[in-house]
Structure 1
Amino acid sequence: MNLASAAEGPASQPDRGAAARGDCGRSTIRRVNRSLRLITAVARAARAASSEDDLLAQVCAIVVDVGGFRFAWTGRAENDLGRRVRPVAHAGFDAGYLDQVTVTWDEQPTGRGPVGTTIRTGRPAVVRDADLDSNFSPWRGPAAERGYRSVAAFPLAPGGRIEGAIALYAGTADAFGHEECALLAELASDISYALAALRGRASREETEAALRRSETSLARAQRIAGLGSWEWDLRSGAMLWSDQTFELFGLDITDVEPSPEVLVNCAHREDRPELAELFERLREFEANSARTTFRIFSADGSSVRHLQMVAEVEFDDEGPNRVVGVLQDISERMNFERRLEDLATHDTLTGLPNRHLLNDRLEQGLARAGRGQRMLALAFVDLDRFKNVNDTLGHDAGDQLLREVARRLVACLRNGDTVARQGGDEFVVLLTDLAKAGDAGRVAQKMLDALSVPVMIGPQEIVPSASIGLALFPRDGERAQTLMMNADQAMYSAKQAGRNQYRYYDPDMNRAAAVWLEVNASLHRALERDEFVLHYQPKVDLKSGRITGAEALLRWNSRVLGMVSPDKFIPLLEETGRIVEVGEWVIETACRQGRQWTDCGLPPLDIAVNLSVRQFQQPDLAQRVRRILDETGFPPERLELEITESMVAVNVEHAIVLMGKLCEMGLKLAIDDFGTGYSSLHALKRFPVSTLKIDRSFVKDLPAGTDDAAIARAVIQLGHGMGLAVVAEGVETEAQRDFLRAAGCDSMQGYLFARPMPAAALEERLRAAKKSSRPARVCSALDASALPQPPTSPVVGELGEAA
């Protein structure tokens, strides 16, 4: 049966499944029970009615007396020119209402109310609030005078043809719920069948058939509402169950005799005492109503279902005579509520507890640890370089990695410990009941070892790692917020120490955190204050020793902090997204410097600039570079942009198109840190690159490292085989230089030849070489005094990398 709201205009289809899952609260149960009684009472009236008018009059009286509605009337749809609806019968508080109003079933305003709509459309219509529904405006005044706030109308169709309607008026707004409307629609259908039977002067057999159908409708109505009903005669002790009740319990109607004891025994063993006590209280008249929820097993015994039962005692002249009860399966609702609770307390991606549940468990753990004078540890786990996975392989790959990390962390812990996802790539581990501080470190190392096992993400193998910070109760704090802050600081200390390790909290870390905040604050305005500068590290031809080019490296000379190492500020630029703006400034500044050197008469020099991941992802990168070249006048063939394998792995086809646009402008492209990313020789042969750069990690152990030596030779042979130049990074010793020269490497850069230097210093060397009419050389193999000592910890960054 369709259900339409007159307040909403066009008719809409009800969701009976949603009605069945609705709240089985007391008011809903009473409404549904009321409608069921209406159906039963109308069925009895249909059997005794002598005429159509008699039946309709009895129906209206039943609706008011049994249903408790304020007013009810039935009307017949006239087929005259005005298409009026003529009242046939009514009951309840009328006070001349039907004499005062006009109702039609055409498209005029007087036909757009609930009665006209249900006759015209053949679907139930509801006005949920007569004061607000614009379609009810023709009758609002008279209805308000009589206290009518909501109306429901249902079509009457004897013999299948709509001839009129029955309308029910309630004194409260929104008085008709979905469950009750479905049942009232069945009531209207029963009335239509009864009218048809009377009209045809049906035989007694036909009348009995109509009654049987009414009883079937009652059972169907209960199924619609997902309800089972029962009646218990308090005087005789007899009990009646509806078919739906037998179905809910998985019992055959012929196998058992209904009784309170049978019903109690159908319940879960743990719920039986409470249910038995409820029936005893009803039997002894200690309660007029009762409500409870209990469990039963499904018919096949495979699962547990939850039933809610509401019961009310009915009275006659002699006192309590019977109890009427309603049962509803609320398993789906309870599952939905549990799901909502789970969503509120658990991370949807990993299934781990979220920060809300973590905070609750941490507070409980602190309370227990305080009472028992035990130690508790909080560990912050942050994945190393997780952003690179998202940027290169995509967010789906990142999500897959997070789920695997969550699984591995859980496997490292005891049952009483907790691992939660804090957000992004951060996890928090709560370790309770520790005997000593070293226990936390052992668990942290266990987690690091578990994470270090390679994992396949799509076609790529990734070796995860993490930085872990540990804070202990009560040593590092006695409050949850203090422990969280200190564990977070310890984690950042582990990252700054080189990642893939754990650190215990130390009070000195507070001072380091203050420095980090100061760096971030100063960095925000560094570009507008003109605090960034470029240093240039020469690239040297291995055969001639001549400077053939230079790599532009970003440096920050802060007014407040002085010279800041790239490894401190470049990650901040990447995190905040300012790397795109600063990276564009680097390209423009390097091009202006190169043009300036050329204008001063110095030999042409190739200048290389590193692109960041975010820059490479800019859709208008080629246009930005073209604008810089046009504005600076720097020859495009002298500009070399360095990219990494990881940048192009996410979308190879897009990368090839973008690289093609850059090459069409005359630029050179180099693959930086070759061999450390997600290499694909099939893709590499399609990249329009001119240079491969051997990563310093393969150079530092040359020539003693046999594996590194083999890799270096392979890269050189691969590059030359593809017609590419090969440059080695991080050359710091003569032995490394000699090996690479013998292997056929074309160029080098590193501390053996020159540190990154300001533009003026490089210009001075180029001028000196020009005056002597000799190729510019940085140092000679025999000039040992000119070799600078390599630093103990080289700085690394996309735009500030030093070789």
Structure 2
Amino acid sequence: CWRYKMSIALLWLMFTLAVCSLFIPENIAAPIFFGVMVLLYITCIILIYNKLRSGFRWAKFYVLSWIPLIFGAAIQPMELTGVLPYTFATRHAFLVAILCEVILMAMALADRVRYQRERALYHATHTQQTRLLNSSKLKQAFMALQSQNRSTTLCLIKIRHFNSLNTIITSSQGYTLIKHIAKELELELSHEREFTNLETDLNTSPRLADLSSGVFACISTKTQNQEMLETLLTKIISSLPKQYEIKGLNLQLSYSIGISSAGKTNDFEYWLKRGYLALKKAKGSVNQVGSSSNGNNLMMDVALAAKLQQAIKTNQLALYYQPQINLLSNHVSGAEALLRWPDPTYSNLSIEELIILAEHTGIINELTLWVIEQACKDIVELTKNGYNEHTISVNLSAKNLTINNLAEKVENILIKYQVPAHLLKFELTESAFVDSQDALIKLVDELTALGIKVVLDDFGTGYASLSYLVNYHFSELKIDKSFVFDLPNNPTHQVIVQTAIDMAHNLNLSITIEGVETQEIHHLLKDMNADSAQGYLYAKALPYTDYLHFLKSQYSLKMLDSSF
């Protein structure tokens, strides 16, 4: 800018005159020196004024430091020119002025350091764009409450589909939206005493933190049951704006809630992660509320993932088998392999949540390959015991598609254990069909080419299930248990199941019905001409040794058939 250029020009002028003063008399150099000082003062005043306009808060001491210097500099030439009489005070006025300036400059420097530290702290505890408190302040409040042994329940409130909104609005418009919602939400929270202040500012008393991407956080310190807190938060979000206008466009807004209780963990990251998991659950919730309790069944941490990985490497996991009954012969035709962790320490852990943990930590593929290999080992053992046509089904998820050359790895396992390919089945759920259609079509074709049967699991629950039958080479369909529990008393479900059975047979596919728990359902499925069934009526998932005993006693099923 022009001020910078003016300062550079003045510096060059002073440097040039300083060199010239070495060769010219003092009586000529002194007036020039004092004349240049006037320009220097003017330049400094312009620069300081410009800084003050931009919030140069610590400049007050710097400005004051020039006052004694100006007066001291004025007294010295006046004494030299005879305007003021020569005295000790007038002779050393400039030196005194310099000492005062040094003191005030030191104070200005100290104030500047303090100001910079305050700014750094502000930026560390506030989001730069919205100027709201961030996760650092949330963590500070959490640790303070934990040290006082007070109840700490994290409440996350998210603007639903905010990331999608960001594709049609600008960043600045998005930040304005966040600040607008935050203002309304802060007002609602201020009416409830159970939400703690995150900052000791008596003027604002903020209770809300901005976690970015349209997610807000607050902390409830009241000891209460989950339902009461959910009711309160639902009431709060019902008062938030449902519409927001941007350049004539009325955006429709909705919100979801995630709740996480801290317990005695003293781990902020774990507490916050559980809150995000609860938000994820809320996506598919009718009331848009998700919660994550502090029980041992949800220990989503790195330590548990490391133990799970170690269990995979040391074969501490096990496969349990639930039999699949051929409804025509009433014999066991196969079984579905279900993962278990027999260690008593982890007996209360949900396998579904362990699978989620494995997916989040990237060990799901390692776990899947272990399951496939263990299933092949058990097929070999079953063959040695005379069950030459007994099949085993293994579940695959969408995450397993990231395994490089999965079909080749499966083929190597089959060769390693000399397992006939037709005795191994893979069950695919609809979640595996969403992200990568082409990769999945290729995988199904490769597995089918090996002679492995691929099963479409939970058929009937997906909106596009019929299209899968056209694009994929499935060998079997599996009807979801949600259609089976009330089958005898639900004519609609009877029509759906019968139609699925007839369609599968017309497409030369076999069909398995899961969730069979009563003899009445078993008898009804036989009349419908279903191929196979599985459920608690026949057996729950059993360890391999117990399952082998079950197979040896399967002749009793024939005797039961008469009662069916």
Match of 1:719 among 496, 504, 522: 504
- Describe the shift of the 1:646–1:343 C-alpha distance in structure 2 as closer, same or farther (beyond 3 A): farther
Distance across 2 between alignment mates of 1:561 and 1:435: 29
Match of 2:35 in 1: none
Q: Any idea what SS the aligned residue of 1:751 has?
A: coil
Deviations 1:511-538 (A, max 9, x none): 7789999966653432344322222212
Contact 2:124-2:136 at 8 Å conserved across structures: no
State the distance in 2 between where 1:724 and 1:408 align: 56
**SS of 2:336 mapped into structure 1:** strand
Larger deviation: 714-723 or 593-602? Answer: 714-723
The code of the aligned residue for 1:444 comes to L
> Which has more strand, going by share of residues?
1
Q: CA deviation at 1:657?
A: 1.3
1:756 aligned to 2:528?
A: no
Q: Based on CA coordinates, which of the two structures has the bigger radius of gyration?
A: 1
| Aligned match for 2:135, one of 352, 355, 374 | 355
Q: Deviations over 1:351-395 (max 9, x none)?
A: 98531254578899x8xxx9xxxx997434499xx9xx9xxxxxx
The within-5 A match list for 1:51-66 is 63=12, 66=13
Match of 2:247 in 1: none
1:553 pairs, out of 331, 338, 342, with 338
Match status 1:636 vs 2:421: yes
8 A Cα contact 1:445 1:502, kept in partner:
no
Structure 2 CA distance for partners of 1:398 and 1:561, relative to 1, 3 Å: farther
Distance 1:698 1:67 in 2: 92
Report the residue type matching 1:34 in the other structure: S
SS at match of 1:68: helix
Question: AA paired with 1:630?
Answer: I
Residues 74-113 of structure 1: matches in 2 within 5 Å? none
Q: Distance in 1 between matches of 2:406 and 2:124?
A: 41
Q: Is the 1:638–1:667 Cα contact (8 Å) retained in structure 2?
A: yes
CA contact (8 A) 2:337 2:392 kept: yes
Higher helix share: 2
Shift of 1:712: 3.2
Paired letter, 1:468: I
Indicate conservation of the 8 Å contact 1:645/1:678, yes or no: no
The unaligned stretches of length 5 or more in structure 2 are 24-38, 80-118, 168-173, 190-206, 243-253
Number of aligned residue pairs = 453
Structure-to-structure mapping, 1:302-451, within 5 angstroms: 345-346=126-127, 354-359=134-139, 378-381=153-156, 413-415=185-187, 417=189, 420=209, 428-430=217-219, 440-446=229-235
**Cα shift at 1:747:** 1.6
Q: Which residue of 1 aligns with 2:471?
A: 686
Residue pair 1:702, 1:708 contacting (<8 A) in 2 also: yes
User: Following superposition of structure 1 onto structure 2, how do residues 501-516 of structure 1 map, counting pairs within 5 Å?
Assistant: 509=294
Report the Cα distance in structure 2 between the residues aligned to 1:32 and 1:318, rounded to whole angstroms: 32
Between the aligned partners of 2:424 and 2:413, the Cα distance in structure 1 is 11
- Kindly indicate whether the alpha-carbon contact (under 8 Å) linking 1:526 and 1:532 is maintained by their aligned counterparts in 2: yes
- The answer for the alignment partner of 1:620 in structure 2 is 405
Letter in 2 for 1:549: G
Partners of 1:346 and 1:674 lie apart in 2 by: 46
Question: Do the aligned partners of residues 648 and 486 (structure 1) sit closer, same or farther apart at CA in structure 2, a change above 3 Å counting?
Answer: closer
Deviation at 1:291, TM superposition (A): 5.0
1:469 paired with 2:244, answer no
* Residues 488-567 of structure 1: pairs in structure 2 closer than 5 A: 509=294, 522-558=307-343, 560=345, 566-567=351-352
Q: Which residue of the partner structure matches residue 373 of structure 2?
A: 588
Cα deviation, 1:233-257, whole Å, max 9, x if unaligned, reads: x9xxxxxxxxxxxxxxxxxxxxxxx
Normalization by structure 2: what TM-score?
A: 0.60
8, 15, 21: which one pairs with 1:68? 15
Partner of 2:446: 661
Instruction: Give the distance between the partners of 2:348 and 2:296, measured in 1 at CA.
Output: 19
SS at match of 2:369: helix
Q: Letter of the aligned partner of 1:531 in structure 2?
A: Q
Is 1:730 the counterpart of 2:502? The answer is no
CA gap 1:697/1:408 in 2 versus in 1, 3 angstroms = farther
After superposition, the Cα gap between the structure-2 partners of 1:516 and 1:482, relative to the gap in structure 1 and judged at 3 Å, is closer
Task: Tell me the secondary structure at the aligned position of residue 748 of structure 1.
Answer: strand
Structure 2 CA distance for aligned equivalents of residues 450 and 634 of structure 1: 62
1:740 alignment partner, one of 511, 514, 525: 525
**What SS is found at the alignment partner of 1:658?**
helix
Query: Is the 2:512–2:532 contact (alpha carbons within 8 Å) kept by the matching residues of 1?
Result: yes
Could you list the runs of 5+ residues in structure 1 that have no partner in the other structure? 1-19, 21-27, 39-62, 73-90, 95-230, 235-281, 296-307, 320-337, 390-395, 454-462, 785-803
Once the two structures are superposed, the pairs formed by residues 756-775 of structure 1 within 5 Å of their partners are 756-767=541-552
Match of 1:32 in 2: 5
Contact residue 526 and residue 558 of structure 1 kept, 8 A: no
Check the 8 A contact 1:541/1:547 in 2, yes or no. yes
Q: In the TM superposition, what whole-angstrom CA distance separates every residue of 1:63-112 from its partner, at most 9, and x where no partner exists?
A: 5xx2535899xxxxxxxxxxxxxxxxxx7989xxxxxxxxxxxxxxxxxx
Q: 1:342 to 1:558 in 2, by over 3 A?
A: same
Go from structure 1 to structure 2 and tell me whether the alpha carbon gap of 1:442 and 1:762 turns closer, same or farther (over 3 Å shift). Answer: closer
User: What amino acid is aligned across from residue 345 of structure 1 in structure 2?
Assistant: H
Inter-CA distance 427–701: structure 2 relative to 1 (3 Å threshold):
farther
* Aligned-pair Cα RMSD in Å: 5.9
How far residue 411 of structure 1 moved from its aligned partner, in angstroms, is 10
Identity of aligned residues (%): 25
| Structure 1 residue 635 displacement after superposition | 0.8
Q: Distance in 2 between matches of 1:450 and 1:668?
A: 53
The question of whether the paired residues in 2 share the 8 Å contact of 1:730 and 1:750 is answered with yes
Distance in 1 separating the partners of 2:420 and 2:549: 22
The aligned amino acid for 1:548 is: S
- Please tell me whether the aligned partners of residues 379 and 469 of structure 1 are also in contact (alpha carbons under 8 angstroms): yes
Structure ranking higher on relative contact order (CA contacts 8 Å, 6+ apart): 2
Query: In structure 1, the residue corresponding to 2:339 is in which secondary structure?
Result: strand
Query: CA 1:382/1:607 → structure 2, altered by over 3 Å: closer, same or farther?
Result: farther
- The verdict on how the C-alpha distance between 1:557 and 1:720 changes in structure 2, with shifts beyond 3 A counting, is same
Q: How far is 1:687 from its partner? A: 0.9
Cα displacement (A) at 1:650 = 0.4
Question: Shift of residue 584 of structure 1?
Answer: 1.1
Pick which of 526-535 and 615-624 moved more. 526-535
Alpha-carbon spacing, 1:601–1:738, altered in 2? closer, same or farther (3 Å): closer
Distance 2:348 2:513 in 1: 27
Q: Answer yes or no: is the 8 Å Cα contact 2:376–2:419 preserved in 1.
A: yes
TM-score of the superposed pair, with normalisation by structure 1: 0.45
SS at match of 1:681: helix
